[in-house]
Every structure is written in structure tokens, then in C-alpha cells.
Structure 1
């Protein structure tokens, strides 16, 4: 038998006799445990799974009935068989009241023992069957409830009926997911078939892919309400709905959510997702779905694996939208061509281009370039994905720029950080100096040796120094010194740190030397500078 058993009796001879009888009757349990009294039995139950307990009634320290009383609340599924040398009605009555199914008198006959074991085995099977039935019934109820919710969402997005308070479907959905008095985005997620049909997944796996998309989507952290269901009229699509009290926050949430989602499936499974998103509305209706589908159709022009907003269609449709430049940028990033990357960033975000459009143009291009970076092959974005994703998916930084120059510089620096770690950047000496400047700016408070810096960019120290001075108008040493002093001035004005602390913060371990360098450069001691400028 597959069950485990605990035999409790203060006489070892009886315990061993029961085990021998069970073997003879071909009823030997999968595991057998022995205890001399109720206390030992309770200790065994804490350590091992037990299905059946055979216990004597009269034992020292704790009798059998007390053991049963203490066990049932903790392990309600265990079945009990009582042994007794006394045919006393009081014991039998208590045993029956406790739910004991067999009461055996010593000496035990083989037939009585066999029947008692068979009875409790049947009881255990009935209990397991009941549990399975209840579990399956609960799962069936959950699945049915989920399907009804899914169908209701689909119905609301297909019907032309305008929502009223009497619309039961709308009310039913709102009970599961908040849509009343909310701003809503409807998002259609298309699983791009051409990205997986030739890989480890095929069309036959569409159910598995849909299930995975749903799970990942719901696990992503966000500040808005969201839900996701199958599109019942297109097996290759899912429908996500975002809702919020604030209309202005929805787009940012959508950008973050879907860039995370698309990146995860591309990196982990090689599956491309394209998303079309409606404008924000205060009613979930067929108009939302229509807008989302229209936005999704932009993939026919601008390609898959992108995020398309209905509000951006006008901008995307203009002849001046830099589709070809974005495609070239993708190629330059994968080739690590820093010079042309910088040129294209300046071209795409040129003052002339921005003047033609509104701020939406910048957001569209920003999100599109982030998508390019996350999918770029042979870069730090593919090799150190967690760090790079954290860097590029910080959409809040877009609102912090004070000028287009800041935006261009930041975006260029992100790309350089992604490609410079690979060691095979295809750039000329001018661009190598740009990379070295970025490295110095990031590490100015470290000990930077000219020889090591030159070696990092595959240049001789003399040639590196000559090109650096030609491009910056300064020697490398003076550039590092001026940068450190600029940072020190900033600390003196905006922090309460001591001169010794600031000295170490900007890369000078010797504070006396820092004092001399600072005074020579500014004509003031650090404390004088702080007093005059703070």
C-alpha cells in the first residue's frame, strides 16, 4: 500500500506483531513509524507525513483517546484504528464520537485487522476523491468566471451600443476591473508570427505564448490598473486595458509597460510583439478598439516590434518622419559606428525637425530609439541586460531635460555606454577621444593614468595625447584637473562637506595637494571660495 502508518503502543512486542501481520496480509505500508506513547507519536507527526494511526487506548503519559483528540485538529485527514484489551462501551462511544472507523479488541485476528485496514483505505480514497472533485469544481468556477470576464470585455469592444447605467455587461466588468469614472487605454498586442514560426516556437504554440504574455504583463509593476484578455476574434492577438484616474499618466505607463513586455519576449524567447494603443477615453467601447486597431496598422508602414499610439498617426504619416534615419541608426548601433550614430542623433533631433512638430514627436522618437537599443545585437544591451534596461527604460528622465542639446548628449552617451564595452568599436581617432572624454567624465574621481587610458582605446600614449589636445584644446592632465576642480566648486557651494571630504570625492587623496591646486587655479582657498559663493 502507498500510505504511511504510525503504530502507537507501549509494548514493543505488540507493535512488531502488527507489522509482521501486515506483511503477511500483503498490506505493508510504504513507511511505518513506531511510538511508545502519545507524546512520541505527536513528535513523529511533526516530522513525517502519516495517513493511518493504529493506537492502543491505555498507555502511560498520554492515552490513545487523548492522542486522537490532539491530532485531529492538526491533521484532520488521518484515519485511526483503536486497539484495546477491554470491550468497554465508554471507550467505544468516545472513539465513535471522534470519528474512529475501527475498534479492535486484543488479541487481534488477521481477518479483523485486514477488514479494519481496508475500511480506512477506502475512507482515505473517498477523501482524496472529494478533494479532487472540490478542487476541479473550484478551478472550473474560476475558469468560467475568467471566460465570462474575457467575453464581456470583447463584447464591449465590439458593440456599437453606448454605455448607460442600465448596461449590465459594463457593470459586470466594472466589478472585476475598474472602468467607471476612469480614463481608459485599449491596447491590442499582436504576436508577430514571422518572428517565431521559424524558431523554437510555432503556430501550434500560440496558446502557450498567449499564456506567457498574460503572466508577464500582469507581473510587471505599474501605477495604473490593468487587465489582459484574449482577442476572441483573432487568435494572434491579446487585448490589454489600462485605467487610471489621471489621463496624463496613462501614456507614460503604457510606454514603460509595453517596452518592458516587448523587450522580455524578444530577449527570452525571440518573439516580436507589436502594440497598437487607442487614445485615452472615459468609456470602454468599440471606438477604443477601432482606434487601437488603426494604430496597430501602422506596422504595415513602419514595421513590427514597435509601439503605436493612435494619437501619433498624423505624425507617423508625414513624409518628414525619419523612418529611414531610424533604420540607419539601428544599423550603425549594431556596427558600433559612433561617428555616424552621433550624426544621426543630431539629425533626428535637430532644431529644424523639432520646430515642425510638438513634444509628441520627441516622445515617439525617444520610445522608438529605446526599442532599437534593447534589441541591438552584440552590445552591452544584449550582454548586460539588467543594467542597460534600468538605464534606458527610465522614461522620467525625458521630462528633466532643459534643452535639445541635453537630450541629444544624454541619448548619445547611453548608446556609447552600450557599445564601448564590447572592445570592437568601429570608430576613428576623433570618436575615440569622444569616448575617452565620456570615460573621464564618468571616472574623474578615480586614478586615471594616461598610458592606461590610451591602451583602453587602442592608441599609443603619445598619439592619444596629441589627438586629445587637438580635439579639446587641453592636455589630458589639464582636462582631468579642470573637471575635478569644477566638481569641487560645485560641492563647496551646494554641500556641507568638509574640504578633506570634497578632496577625496573629486579624486585627490592628499587634501594638502588639493588645497594648493585649487588656490593656484582659482586664486582662492577652498574655504574662501565657499564663503564668497555660497
Structure 2
């Protein structure tokens, strides 16, 4: 509802308006009165006034001065001036001060109601627009959060992208890292009382931990924090190539890690364990060091606040596992899952488990990481939350029984493959429909000069040839033909319902040449745009 303030040194004017106008019908809830500019400013300090109605001539401070002062402090305020015939020049000046309207005194009730109704409607439109902008901003922020998390997962799990494509995504999501930039990978595990929280509460804590890290690692460091596929907090602490070597000093970094633990303990009343890599190149070396971090967490069972520095010496001291090469040998385990070759993936697992009759606990840890990474990666591409299928097994810290024997791990792996394969066909159909819907929304919103099969393909992160084939198979119409058809439909609408010139319509639809536009239009409708408009 709207609140209004009536200001006039002749109080009978404001009292009459307050008593006779049907305010509720106009959508006005609060009606306030003031007898001077000073009193009006006091009221506006205490109440949220939406519309200010003021007389021009008042002692001490005029209505024009009141409007100017109020507009400076409350820019969204709507203002209406009450003026006599002799003050018409003042009213013109008021309009230059962005007064919304003016009314001649004595005030006619019908004119006043009409004026206030129009201002109420303007306010409502502005509020709706602001609400929509906030909603869109929230959607964009949420989408960016989801998409940046998905990108982090893909990079940790080893998905390859070209440097230019990755750099474009980083910019699009507002992530300040550069390809080949030096960074440290922090894998953070919630410990202490955090371990007892449900998943939703844990996600809030993870986000808070990331924000604290952003404060601690101030310039020249850059921080990208997200969740990991295994529900840890992941932080990439990056440095520009020209940064001083002082910032890369291991002892300095360890001091900052301790500070992060202290701040989390102080602000969030909980503990975290940190596994920190050495300085590595982003993103090429992420998958290897992420696997090492998970191995360290599982082997050391860091259930209390700890810091582990994973330098090359630490990694070399660990037991090497050549048997895992079977999972990473082309076609890799992840590649088989991506292509839906479930039986071949099972055969690869079978080859791994029979490659050596003796599986150490360390080997099973590493195998679980490799297998679960593949399952999580493919499940996310299918739009499936692995927790919904197996809430315990997706995180080894919740169910360590998987690792007791090789047969346990093998049985769990095969079961997960069966569950995912059952949903693969349905998910694949959904995924394709989602892409088609996404493409059609993009085309309908963006018909400018840059709209083409290639630009649309770039927006949905697919190769143009693949997207064209997919669109044709799913709809029976080529994507290029669809773009032209939508352009022509929009052209018809503008010819019927607007007075825009042909060249204006041509430019708006993304065509540079009106003759070419006319040729395409005639091919569709059998007449030129001018002939169509004249019908």
C-alpha cells in the first residue's frame, strides 16, 4: 500500500483532502499532514512516504525547495504541486525539478483523484519492475553459483576444456582466475560439531567458511571457493604471475591456514581440517592433487582440526598404485560412463579387481576415489544427485564399510552402475528436451545481429554441428530454419502492430540489408514487407 503526505500552511486544505478523498479505493493506506516544509521533512524522516503533495507558496521554505530537498534524500519520491493561477511559472519550474504533476487551487476532487491514481499506478509499476529485477538478479546469482560449482566439479574430476572456452566461462561466472595461473588447492573437511549437522546446515557452514577465506586471503591473492563432488569445501587460492615470491612462501601460507582455522572456530564455533597442495598450475594439475587430497583425508582420518601440506615429498612417500592405471587407461572409466557403456565400465572394474589378488587398504582408498569421482561426474551430467541414490556411500566418511574388502567395493560399484544405468535413458531424453527448450528461449529473446547457430551453440556450450543435428532430430526442423521462422513471425507482428519503418525492423531482427530481409520475407509470405503492411 501507498503512504501520502499532504503539505500546506493553510491547514483547512490538507484537512479537507484527508477527509473527503476515498483513499482506500486509490490504494492509499496512510495519509499524513504537515503545515510547513520543516514539519514535512520531520514526517518523512519518521514515515515511509511515497507521494508528497505540497503547496508552492509557504512561509520560510517554499514547496519547490521542499521538493528539491526531499528528492535529494528520497529519489523515488513522487511529488505533486498545488498552485494558484498566478504561480503557473513556478509550476513550470517545478516540472524541471522532476515534480510529477501539478494541480490548480482550489483543488477539484475529481482532478485530484485522477492525479493521485496515476501516481499510485506509476509507483506500482516501478515496484513490480524493481521486484522483477531483484528476482532476475537472484536467479542470475543462483544460476552462476550452480554453474560455477558444476564447473569446479568438472575441473576437479578431470574434464578437459580448451583454454579459450574455459577462460570464457570463468569470465561469465565472475571468477577471477586465469588459465595456467599458479594456485593452491585447499580441500577443507568440516570437523568437530559440524560433522553432526544435516546437509542443508553443512552447506551454509561451507559457504560461510568460503567467505571467511576471502577475507583472509586478500589481495594479491584471489579466491574461488565451492563445494567438491564429495561434499568438502574446495578453495583455489591463486596468485598473479608477477606476484612477489614472498606470497608463495610455505610458512606464510601455513600461517594463513591456521588463521582460517582460528576464524572459523571464533565466528562459527566449529573446527575444520585442511589439506593443502603445493603451488600448482590451474587447471591442468587439479585432478591429480584433488585425488591426493581425498586420499590423505581418508587415510589419515582427519576428524579433528588439522593441517596437512601435500608437497611433492609427501606424495612420493605414499604407496604407488600401478593397478589403478587400468581405470585410467583409454577408454577411461569416466569416458565409458559418459557414453553410457555400462557393461564396458563393469568389465573395466572387473579387470581392475582381478589385476592383483591382494588389495591393500591404501589401494582400495584410491580405487574408491577414482570410481566415485566417475560416478559423481556422470550423475551430475545426468541431473541426478548421487546422494538421492545412495546417501551414505557417496561419502566414504559416512560409510567406511565399503572399504573393508575388495568384494565390498566391487559390489557397491556394480550396484551404483546398475542404478545409474536404469535412469540413463530417461535422463538422456530429459537432457535433450532441456537443451531444445533452452535454445528456443534464447532465440525468442535474442534476434539481434549476433544470433546464429554458432552463437546459440556457444551459449549452451555445444558444438554447432552437434547442436544442429540434435535440434533437427528432436524437432524435425533445422535450427537455422527455426531462427529464420521466428524472425519472420516477429517481423509480421511488428508490421501489424507498430509504425516502425522497414529498415528499423530489418536492423532489429539482425539483418543488415533491407533488400535481403524483403527477399526472405517474400519467400515466407509471398509478398514484400511493404505489400504485407498495405493489405
TM-score relative to the length of structure 2: 0.48
Give the structure with higher Rg (CA).
1
